[in-house]
Structure 1
Amino acid sequence: MKAQAPGYWSLFREHFPAEFDATAAQARDLGVRLAKLHGERVFIDEIPAGFPTTDAIVPACDFLCAIAEQGLEV
């Protein structure tokens, strides 16, 4: 599951540090260990800083991308 992956939380921390801190604090208050690291459930603030991130999801490109790349008007 993606939401358990430490790379997912590392990416979240990288792009949204304030929201990550708030989520980590709330998870600790509730006693919820949201991530799995080396087979063990951990609090997300226990994931080491600089942990490799997952690749960001890039939306699929359709025919509009080809039009934009050619500089054509729709």
Structure 2
Amino acid sequence: DGASRSGIYVTVCSEINRIKKRQTIHVFDTVKNMKVSNPNAIRTKEDYMMCHQLLNCYLTEMQDYDVIV
């Protein structure tokens, strides 16, 4: 559904910004804070795992790019 997909998108974007600024990842905190304003954002374990999988893909691609540069 739209709320879950939007929640995944916002979570991943927030975490990518955090990675760029602080070199840390706190998916749990991001989801917890987001659920205050939108309880339907990340509803299932699968939604939460998707956030982790997407961030893993992002970090893997970043490492590959660093090797090229």
Same fold (TM over 0.5): no
Structure with more contact order per residue of length (Cα contacts < 8 Å, sep ≥ 6): 2
Greater Rg by CA? 1
TM-score (norm 2): 0.35
More strand as a share of residues: 1
